[in-house]
Amino acid sequence: MPEIIETTVFHLDELSDAAKEKARAWYRNDAVDDDWFECVYDDFERICKILGVRLDTRAVGLYGGGTRRKPCIWFSGFWSQGDGACFEGRYAHAKAASRNMREHAPKDEELHRIADALQAIQRRNFYQLHAVMTHRGHYSHELSMAISVERASPNSQEMTADAEDAVIEALRDLARWLYRQLEREYDYLTSGEVVDEAIVANDYTFTEDGQRFG
């Protein structure tokens, strides 16, 4: 025969301190949205466009069937050696990148520096440098990006001696910047204040020891 079992449940503010920490740990592990990083990706796509980076895309299946295109961006984090972010795509000179970057992110000095570095090396090579970025290996950090740099000169002029290293370093710095934004966003979403607000807003309940109920 079916049985009726009664369980007393508690809201977050009714739990002991130890139970609250258990409830918060549940939220951080199981309830943070799987696509929490999408807003960071969206901004990164805009930044890439300003710099002249065209991200490759890949087909991703949808729950209801069909597919959609997503940028080739990968990351792992945020606690292990080897964590980081990387991307695939192509780079070419973008006009007024330094000015446009300052308009888009007026307080981000690292993005200004990256834009300036790319503009400077392009200027020395008559704005003819191109690069291709591909992901290699099992890790997802800036050094897992294979970056090939060429100069598309109609007169077959060679790149300046510093061109390849300068472009590679700037693009890897961009991947490092992306990782810091992802880490910052995750730290914010899993901070105590934000976690508590989310638990209360969703009216989650718990057993006395902080175990999620339902």
Of the chain, the percentage scoring pLDDT greater than 90 comes to 79
Reported as a single tens digit per residue, the pLDDT across 74-108 is: 999 888 888 999 999 999 999 999 999 999 999 99
pLDDT for residue 45 = 98
Q: What is the pLDDT of residues 155-197, one digit of tens each?
A: 999 999 999 999 999 999 999 999 999 999 999 999 999 999 9
- Is the predicted pLDDT of residue 67 greater than 90, yes or no? no
Q: What pLDDT is recorded for position 119?
A: 98
- Which tops the pLDDT comparison, 130 or 30? 130
Neighbours of 185 (CB within 10 A): 15
CB–CB of 167/120 below 8 Å? no
Angle between helices 109-124 and 38-51 (to 10 degrees): 30
CA distance 167 to 102: 20
pLDDT, residue 64, reads: 72
Burial profile 12-27: b = 16 or more Cβ within 10 angstroms, e = fewer: beebeeebbebbbebb
Does the structure show a pLDDT above 80 at 122?
yes
Q: For residue 92, what are its two tokens? A: 């070419």
Beta bridge partners of 146: 134
Would you say the pTM of this structure is higher than 0.85? Answer: yes
Confidence class for position 2, pLDDT limits 50, 70, 90: confident
Q: At what angle do helices 38-51 and 163-189 cross, to 10 degrees?
A: 160
**What per-residue confidence (pLDDT) applies to 172?**
98
Q: What angle do CA 140, 79, 61 make, to 5 degrees?
A: 45
For the chain, helix, strand, coil in percent to 5 are: 45, 20, 35
Of residues 168 and 60, more confidence is placed in 168
Q: Which residues contact 191 (CB under 8 A, 6 or more apart)?
A: none
pLDDT above 80 (res 5): no
Mean model confidence pLDDT for the chain: 93
User: What is the number of other CB atoms lying within 10 angstroms of the CB of residue 38?
Assistant: 11
What share of the chain has pLDDT > 70, as a percent?
Answer: 97
Q: If you average pLDDT over each of 32-36, 134-138, 168-172, which comes out highest?
A: 168-172
Query: d(Cα 118, Cα 164) in Å, to the nearest integer?
Result: 11
Sorted by where each begins, the domain ranges of the chain are 1-32+191-209, 35-189
How far apart are alpha carbons 41 and 133 in whole angstroms? 17
pLDDT given for residue 61 in this prediction:
66
Residue 1 pLDDT level (bands cut at 50, 70, 90): low
H, E, C per residue of 112-162: HHHHHHHHHHHHHCCCCEEEEEEECCCCCCHHHEEEEEEECCCCCCCCCCC
**Is 91:130 a contact under the CB 8 Å cutoff?**
yes
Burial class (CB in 10 A: 0-12, 13-18, 19+), 43: middle
